[in-house]
Structure 1
Amino acid sequence: MDTKFSASEQILSSDIGDEMVMMDINLGKYFSLKGPSGRVWELIGNGTTVQAIFDVLLEEYDVEAEQCQQELLALLKDLHDAEMIVAAG
């Protein structure tokens, strides 16, 4: 939970209303994240630890801690597997 992630250099992102839109400039693929997932992306961009992201989500959303942790870790795994984020520490 002390790990920090950052966006891969090949990912460009923009906040458009209630969603984050990203483009992989190497593959030409577009992605979007809404709601809590978009908030996670925003926090990743701030160099926040996984624990700090978890704490923010618990504060800002009506979610149980166990569910929040499971979904956060699953999202981070998916983003990492898609090479959209890299571990920063």
Structure 2
Amino acid sequence: MIKNESISLQDCVVQGKGNIVSDMGGEKVMLNVQNGKYYNLGEIGGKIWDCMEAPVSIGQLVTTLMLEYDVDQTECQQHVISFIAHMAEEGLVQIGVEGHRE
């Protein structure tokens, strides 16, 4: 189990393999082929997912979202880290990968 405290803004994250993702009414939905579970990422979760196509730092994800949405930095950081932690627990993303560009 991954805890939020172990994830920092400097960590890099990238989409995991084996997921089928589709747009439905402005929201992203995903089927994880390995575990057979469906996930509704929502609009903002879908934006985060798209940003993770290539390795990216969590700090850069926060910056990207703050430019697009009217959100407080601390609140944005907390929500992004929580979202990434949940996705990591489900095996949907890889954290700590190298090669991100800021």
TM range (shorter): 0.7 to 0.9
Contact 1:23-1:30 within 8 A present in 2 as well: yes
Asked if 1:82 is matched to 2:66, the reply is no
CA apart distance, 1:4: 1.9
Of 20, 33, 40, 1:32 maps to 40
| TM-score, with structure 1 as normaliser | 0.88
TM-align CA RMSD: 1.4
Distance 1:49 1:26 in 2: 26
1:70 CA drift (Å):
0.5
Total equivalences in the alignment: 89
TM-score between the two structures when normalised by the length of structure 2: 0.78
Identity of aligned residues (%): 22
The list of structure 1 runs, each at least 4 consecutive aligned residues, that deviate by more than 6 angstroms after superposition, is: none
| Cα displacement (A) at 1:80 | 0.4
Please tell me whether residue 63 in structure 1 is matched to residue 66 in structure 2. no
Letter in 2 for 1:39: K
Point out where structure 2 has 5 or more consecutive residues left out of the alignment. Answer: 1-8
